[in-house]
A and B are shown apart, each in its own frame.
Chain A
């Protein structure tokens, strides 16, 4: 399936990109699986996802845990803990 992944803040800087469209293999069907698949791609994902603590995710603009399922065409986002207010 194809997903659009957005990156914010420190994670965006570590990856050098704010978004990308990815074609995922069929076994990558959850947020957790996507995170692991990105790390397995190596630099810069491996360092970024391990050095930045407690990276959170959203699917379809709603906070999502690692179990959250991905759908074809979904918008996924990864970001550091939020600091608004």
Chain B
């Protein structure tokens, strides 16, 4: 199961070891960890709550992973995304990719994150000193996704 949605924290080292699975073809492991920060859009953030669309969330990320596997030469991909209430310093998301070579691993890892940010049905609500507000989607995330759609990307 390449995609997990969970409340609990994850151990990136353990997940990487599991993904590598003692497969001697793995020459490269590229990993991204998204972490909750203490500031966003000009305000101090005390908590962040993530909701999602159960069922669709897993499918959407699985579809992104399938696109990455079709586009690059990969051995395996793991995505773990937390939901629920998180605090600054908490881990939010893990994307880990194994390949024989680093070019494919780096590119696929970034691709998965850029697509997850714009296509996976999660929504964040953050608490600031002024109160609770929904986080707005960023145009820069759409721009990051579009880069992968250009010829030669």
Q: Would you call B121 and A84 a contact (CB within 8 A)? A: yes
A80 to B14, CA, bound (A): 35
Given A8-B51, A62-B59, A84-B50: A79 touches B116 (CB 8 Å cut-off)? no
B119 at the binding interface (Cβ < 8 Å): yes
B123 in complex: contacting residue of A54, A58, A63, A80, CB < 8 Å: A80
A84 to B119, CA, bound (A): 9
A10 at the binding interface (Cβ < 8 Å): yes
A9 to B119, CA, bound (A): 15
Instruction: Pick the most buried of A9, A10, A58, A62: most chain B CB atoms within 10 A of its CB.
Output: A9
Hey, which chain A residues are within 8 Å of B55, CB to CB? Answer: 61
Q: Would you call B123 and A61 a contact (CB within 8 A)? A: no
A81 at the binding interface (Cβ < 8 Å): yes
Q: Would you call A58 and B121 a contact (CB within 8 A)? A: yes
A50 at the binding interface (Cβ < 8 Å): no
Hey, which chain B residues are within 8 Å of A62, CB to CB? Answer: 56, 59
Residues of A5-25 at the interface with B, using a CB-CB cut-off of 8 Å, are 6, 8-10
A82 to B116, CA, bound (A): 9
Nearest residue, chain A, Cβ from B137: A81
B124 in complex: contacting residue of A6, A54, A58, A83, CB < 8 Å: A83
